[in-house]
Amino acid sequence: MPKITLVEFNGADHTIDAETGKSLMLNAIDNGIPGIDADCGGACACGTCHVFLEPQWLEALGDSNPLEDAMLSMRPDREAASRLSCQIEVTEAMDGMVVRLPEFQM
């Protein structure tokens, strides 16, 4: 199981043993990580599982798909490192990944 660290906006960090094959969003919810609302349950229809990735992980995960990009475009805090965690399938290659959470989900 890869270890992934999710950092809340206030700086509190949570390192989880993530289950491969599941989305990063589901892994966060299953581990009780605050700051991931996931209102649509992972259907890429709301943008409430927004996260910020570090540049090296953006390259490794590839670009967002058009639907994810449309959801992200509605976020005023979108950055080049923004992704929706429901669209990121966890793999062993993500061991050590650090993910920052936004101040709020919308």
Q: What is the pLDDT along the chain (106 residues), one digit of tens a residue?
A: 999 999 999 999 999 999 999 999 999 999 999 999 999 999 999 999 999 999 889 888 888 999 999 999 999 999 999 999 999 999 999 999 999 999 999 8
Tokens of 17: 């043993």
Going along the chain from its start, the domains and CATH numbers come out as 3-100 (3.10.20.30)
Range 7-30 burial, b when 16+ CB lie within 10 A, else e: beeeeeebebebeeeebbbbbbbe
What pLDDT, on the 0 to 100 scale, is given for residue 58? 86
